[in-house]
Amino acid sequence: MSGGEPETLARVLGLRESGPESSPLPASTIALVRIATLIALDAPPASYGRQVAIALEAGATPGDMLAVLRAVAPQVGMARVVAAAPELMLALGLPLPGGGEDDP
């Protein structure tokens, strides 16, 4: 790619545009992998809402998402998992433990 090979660059750029139909994995698995990626990247909160909705639509469950948190914890570290957990909860429409920011 660094050598200016256009076909290599085109192939790599095409990866960004690929959807679930271009993978042998089930759509729900792809969605869960993408949630794992958000956790690993310490993605901003807004990123979780869309991906959680896609995962639910693809048939993933909130329990599956909890399993993703547990599965990635050894690799990404507990701090990233703790930061991601409330974002997943909010994206799922669940209340945060202990109430919210409105509580005194």
- The pLDDT, as a whole number, for residue 15 is 52
Determine contact, residues 84/39, Cβ cutoff 8 Å: yes
Question: Could you tell me the two tokens for 41?
Answer: 């990247």
- The pLDDT, as a whole number, for residue 9 is 57
First CA to last CA distance, the chain: 55
Determine contact, residues 43/10, Cβ cutoff 8 Å: no
R_g (Cα) of the chain, nearest Å = 17
Q: What number is the average pLDDT over the span 26-53?
A: 94
Which of 3-7, 21-25, 86-90 is predicted with the least confidence, judged by mean pLDDT?
A: 3-7
**Position 24 pLDDT exceeds 80:** yes
